Structure 1
C-alpha cells in the first residue's frame, strides 16, 4: 500500500452524551446529535470528512479520472432499448452521445413510423443537481401520459400530466407520491399512492380527475397498519384496477373494474398474518402465487373472478419443496413460470391446453435468466433476459410456435480487447459452521494461479429475501483486468436456495447472514483464492450492515472493506417509528420494543458493538438526502470508529451532499462513485494504473 500522508489530521466529531433507555438497558450515544440534517455543525463535520477523504486519496485523483473514462468508454453512449409494443405503439428508450439522461419515445403501429418524443430527460434535468423520472403511464386512448419526477433524491415524486397531442404539460400537479400512477378506462381518471410526509410510508390511495383541483381528489383507501405500505396498478388484461397492501410477510389486494373508476374496490382475500399472495388476471379467472397451506416455496393457484376468497383457490402448480416459484407471465395461449431450483433460474412454458409443459434450456453453470417486458397478451413471443458473469446481457425473444430463439440485443462492450473467453466463472460451495453449504459465484481472468496472492473482492447483500444473481458488468472488468477475483456470496437472508434460505437469515436467525459471509471468506482463503492480506469485502444498505457486523466479529480477516449507504445503527433506527421504512421492517429485523428482539438486535448492531480494537481499512459512503438509510447512521458509525479503533488503517467517509440512497442520477455520474471505490481498493493493493 502507498503510504498516505500521516500528517493529515482526521476530523473529530464532538461528543454530546445522550442516554437511550429501554427494557432497563441503557445505551450511551455520544454522536446522536449528528441526526440534525440542517444543523451547521453537522454539515461542517460531513464536509470536513469529505475534505479528509479527498486529501487521503489525493494521489489517486488522476487514477480515478482515468478509471472513470475507462469504465465510461466500454458503455455504448448512443444506445437504445429493444422496442416493445403496447396498445398500438412501439415504445423505445434511447441515450444520445455525451448525454446523461434517457429519452423516451414511441412510434405508432410500425417501427418505420414517425418518432414521437415523450420525454427528453436531458432537457428536463437542466438546473437540477439530481433528476429522476419515476415512471409514466399512458391513457388507453393514447392521448395523455402521467409521469413523475424527483429532483431531491428522497423518492418523493411529483406527478404531472402531459397532453401527447399538443405537447402541453397540464396544470395538474400532485406532490409527495410514490411516483407511479395508473389510468382508469375513461381516459380522465388516474389512481396514485401518496406518502406520509414524515415516515415516507405510502399509506393512501387517491383518484384524480384530469383538470380538477388536486385538493379535491377522492381518497380511495387508507392503509392504517404502520407495518404495511400500499400501491395501485392495472392488471395486464387491463380489466381491473388493483390496490395492493403488503408487509414483509403478509399481503392483501383489492380489485375494481377499470371501467368503473367511481366504484368501490372489493377485497380479493382479506389479510391474514403470514399469508402472502399476488394476483394476475386472465379471462374469467385470477392466477395466484401464494404460500397458502404451508407452501413455503409458493405455488400457483387459480380462482374465478366472481369467487376470489382463498377457500375457492385450486392448484395449478402444486408446492414443491425444492422449487421456488418467483413469478408468472400470462399470455393468450401460454403460462410462463419463473422458477428457482438449487439457486438457478428456470423458465417453464405451459400451454393452456396442457399439451405442452417444458423448460427453456440454459447451458451454463451459473447464470441469470428472468422474464422481460411482455405487455402484449396476444403475443406468441416470450421476451426474457439472460446473462452470466462472463456473458454480456442479452434480450431474447422466444417464439412459442416455432420453438426458436432470437437475440434482439446483446449488450455491447466497447473495448476492442474484450473477449468473454478470456474470463472464467464457476460456482463453489463453502461449508458454514452449522454444516449448511453456502454457494458462491466466482469470476476471474483466465490464467490466474490460485496461490493465495490474488486480490479478491467478496460481495453480498443477504436480507429481505433479495437475491443477487450472478450478472455481467462492464464496470467490473476494471477489477478483473487488474488481477482481482470477484465473488458473490449467496448467503442466508437471500432466496437463492429458496424461501427457507431467507427464513434462516432473518429475525432471530439474522446472525447466520454474518457468519455465512465470514465462513465464505475463510473458505476462499483456505482454497487459496486469496489471503487476509488481499481479501476485500463490500456491501451496500442492508449489505452495509453486513459489513459492519462482519468487521466487529472478525476484523482481521479483511484488508479493506467498502460499506455503501450502510444500515449500521440498527437498534436506534428500529426504535424510531418516525424514520422512513422502520415500521415496515419489523418482520425482517424484529420489533425492538419486544425485549427479546431488542437484545438480539443489539448483539449484532454494528454501531453498538464498536469497541477498542483494530479494524480493517474502511471506505464508507452515504447521501445527505437518503430516505432509506439516513446519512447519520454511517456518520455516527465513522465518528465512533475513529474514537475507538486502535490501528492506523484508513477510515474514510464520503457523503454525496446532493444525492440519496441510489447515488447520483446521471447515467455516468454514478461511475465516479465506482471509480472512488475501485481507487480505494487499488490504493490498498499498490496498483497505480
Structure 2
C-alpha cells in the first residue's frame, strides 16, 4: 500500500440506532437505516465507500491490468461451443473478440443419420448458419444484461427468450419467429427464469414471483392472446416452497415441481392437454425430497423417482405413471455414504449421477436389468456430468468433464461400446500444459474428530505444496448441500503462476461427503461449518503449507457468511478475507418474513422469529453482531451489488461500517448496476475478478 493510499480516510456511516426486540432480547442496530434503498443517504454512502475503495486500491491498477491481460491473453476470444443436435439442426454458441456476450446460432444437419457434430473453425460460421440471438445486440444501450430463458420450439420455428436488464432477476419474455425474423407481439413482463415453449409450439409455460421474490405461480400463455387472459396452472400459497415447471425430455408431460430445503412435490400434466388438471406424483411429506424422470420400459410409461424417504443418501425406484403411489420397484437401493444425485432418462437408457468418496461420478442405467455401469475417469480429483442432451433417442451421450488442472472438456460417450470421443477441450493460450500443475486432497481433523477434505492445486515449478510455507488462497462455502467441485479456472492461473497454492475447504454444510455432511452443518449444527474452515486453515499452517501472514480466505453469498464468522472466530489465522455478496447480517434477514427468500430459508438456518433457541444460536454466530473489540482483524474486502435480490447490499454495508468501529481495515465495493452474480459481460467479469485477485495478491505480498 502506498503512503497516499494509507492516508485516505474511510467514510464513517451515520449512526441512527433502531431497536430490534425478540424473545426478550434487545439489539440496538445503528446501521439498519441503510436498508432504505431509495434513501439518497444510502446511495451517497455507497458511492463514498466506492470512492474510498478506489483510492485505497489505486496503486493496484497496474497489477489489475496485468491480471486482466493475462486472463484475456489465455482466452481464445473468438470461439465456438460444440454443436448439440436437436431436430434438424445443430445448436451452438460462439464468441467474438472484443464482444462482451455470446451469439446463439444454429446450422442445418446435412445428414439425418450423422450424429457426429461438425468441427467448426473459430471465426468461421458453420455452413448455413442462422443467428438466433446476438447477446451483444440485445445488450446494446443496457448497463446490465442477463439471458434467463432461451428455448427453441420442438419444430424449430420459434425462439423464446427472457432478458433481465437490471440484475434483479426479473425477466421480460419475448418470442421470435425464426423463419421470418419477426418478433411476435407476445411480451410477458416480470417473469422468473426458465420459461419453456410447449411441444406443439402453441403455449408458453412460465413462472412469476411474489413480493418476497419467491416463484409461487406457474402460468400458461397461449401465443397470440393477451397476457391478461393467461391461465394459472399452479399456485403455491405456502411461503416455504418455490415452484417451477418444465417438460420431460420425452415431451409427454409437463412436470410442475415445488420444493423447500427439505421437502418436495411434483405434479404431472399431459403435454398434449395442458388445460387438464395437474395430477400429483407423491403427496408432499415433510422432510421427504424426490424428483422424477419419465421413461418408457417394455411399452409402459414409468417414472424413475429419486427420493430420500427412509433413505438418507437417497434411493432410486421405478413406478408406473398410471399409479405412481403404488408399488415401488427398487432400482438402486440406499447405501449410506453413497449419495445419489440425479437421474436423466432417454428412450433406450438412463444416466445416474452419484457421489462416492467425495467425488461426483456418472453411470449408465440399463432399464432391463437395473444395473449401473460407471463411466471411468482416472484423475484423482475431477468433476463430470451430462451436458447438451436435448434429444429423446440419441445414440451418444454428451458429457462435460474437468478438474483443477484439466480445462473444461466435452466428450461424447457411446453406450454401445463404452468408448469416449473427445469433441473439444477449452483452449488455454500461451502454452498451458496441465503437467506443469498438480492437484491433491489432504484431510484436516475437526474439533469433534471429523475428517475434513481439503483440495489443493499448485504449480509444480514452485515445489510440492507443503514442502515449504507458501502463499495460500483458501476458498469455502458450506451450505445448502452445495459441493465445490474440482473445476478449471483461467483466472486462477494468475495466482498459481505467481506461486500461490489454491485450496478448497470442503466443510460441513456442503454435500461433498453425502447427505449427513450437509445435515451436520445446518440449523443448530451450523457452527460446524465455521469451525471446520478454521480447522482446515490451522491444518495448513500446522503442517507447513503456509503461515497466517501468507493465508487469504474467500467465500461468497452463504460462503460470505462463513467468511464473516471465521473473521470473528480466528482473525489471527488470516492475512486477508475476501467476501463476495456476503450474507453477514443473517439474523436480521432471517427474522423478517417480508424480505426475499426468508421463509424458505428457515429450513436451512432455523426459524429465529418463532423459536428462541434458534434466535440465540444465530445471534451467537451472525457476523455483524459478533464483531469483536480489542482484536486485530485481517484486511477485509467485501464486494456486493446494489440490485442483488438474494443477499441485499445492506448486509455487507452494515458489516463494514461495524468493522470500522473496531478499527478494522475493511473496504466495500458495491456494483451499482449488477445482481447476485456480479457484473454482466465477459470482459467486465474479467475486470471484476482482476480487481479481486490484485487485492488478494497484494495482501499476500505477491506481485
Please report the TM-score for the alignment, with normalisation by the length of structure 1. 0.97
Q: 1:199 aligns with which of 192, 199, 212?
A: 212
1:618 corresponds in structure 2 to 636
Measure how far apart 1:509 and its partner are.
Answer: 0.5
Q: Deviations over 1:504-556 (max 9, x none)?
A: 00001100000000000000001111001101100000000000000111111
The 3-state SS of whatever aligns with 2:38 is coil
Q: Deviation at 1:356? A: 6.3
Match of 1:34 in 2: 34
- What are the equivalent positions in structure 2 for 1:439-458 lying under 5 Å apart? 439-449=453-463, 450=466, 452-458=468-474
Q: Which residue in 1 is equivalent to 2:377? A: 362
1:370 shift after superposition: 1.5
C-alpha deviations, 1:540-581, integer Å up to 9, x for none?
000000000001111111000000000000111001112111
The question of whether the paired residues in 2 share the 8 Å contact of 1:19 and 1:27 is answered with yes
Does the 8 Å CA contact 2:641/2:673 hold for their aligned counterparts? yes
- Who is 1:583 aligned against? 599
Q: Which residue of 2 aligns with 1:596?
A: 613
Shift in alpha-carbon separation, 1:474–1:6, aligned structure 2, 3 A: closer
1:227, CA displacement in angstroms? 0.6
Structure 2: give runs of 5+ residues left out of the alignment: 111-117, 119-125
Residue 350 (structure 2) pairs with residue 332 (structure 1)? no
* Partner in structure 2 of residue 120 of structure 1: 134
Secondary structure of the corresponding residue to residue 391 of structure 1: coil
Please list the CA deviations of residues 461-517 of structure 1 after superposition, one character each: whole Å capped at 9, or x if unmatched. Answer: 100000011111111000000110000111101110011100000001100000000
Q: Residue 551 of structure 2 contacts residue 700 of structure 2 at CA under 8 Å; is this kept in 1?
A: no
Question: Alpha-carbon deviation of 1:677?
Answer: 1.0
3-state secondary structure, aligned to 1:336: strand
Shift of 1:660: 1.2
1:630 aligns with 2:648: yes
Q: Distance in 2 between matches of 1:4 and 1:409?
A: 49
Shift of 1:4: 5.9
Q: Which residue is 2:121 aligned to?
A: none
Residues 104-503 of structure 1: pairs in structure 2 closer than 5 A: 104-110=104-110, 114-196=128-210, 198-283=211-296, 284-292=301-309, 294-309=310-325, 311-354=326-369, 357-416=372-431, 418-449=432-463, 450=466, 452-503=468-519
Bigger drift between 355-364 and 42-51 goes to 355-364
2:281 aligns to what SS in structure 1?
Answer: strand
> How far 1:656 moved relative to its partner?
0.5
The range that moved more, 228-237 or 100-109, is 100-109
Aligned residues: 681
> How far apart, CA to CA, are the structure 2 residues paired with 1:344 and 1:389?
13
Q: Distance in 2 between matches of 1:467 and 1:68?
A: 28
Deviation at 1:5, TM superposition (A): 3.2
> Structure 2: how far apart are the matches of 1:87 and 1:380?
14
- 8 A contact 2:571–2:632 mirrored in 1: yes
| Whole-Å separation in 2 of the counterparts to 1:39 and 1:217 | 37
RMSD across aligned C-alpha pairs, in angstroms? 1.4
Shift of 1:139: 2.2
CA contact (8 A) 1:2 1:683 kept: no
Which one is further off, 76-85 or 176-185? 176-185
Superposition deviation, residue 256 in structure 1: 0.8
For 1:158, what is the secondary structure of its paired residue?
strand
Which of residues 539, 562, 578 in structure 1 aligns to 2:555? 539
Distance in structure 1 (CA, Å) of the matches to 2:453 and 2:477: 14
Q: Distance in 2 between matches of 1:445 and 1:512?
A: 31
More displaced, 560-569 or 64-73?
A: 64-73
- Asked whether 1:673 is paired with 2:682, we answer no
- Is 2:552–2:700's contact at 8 Å kept on the other side of the alignment? no
**Which SS does the other structure have where 2:11 is aligned?**
coil
Give the TM-score, by structure 2 length: 0.95
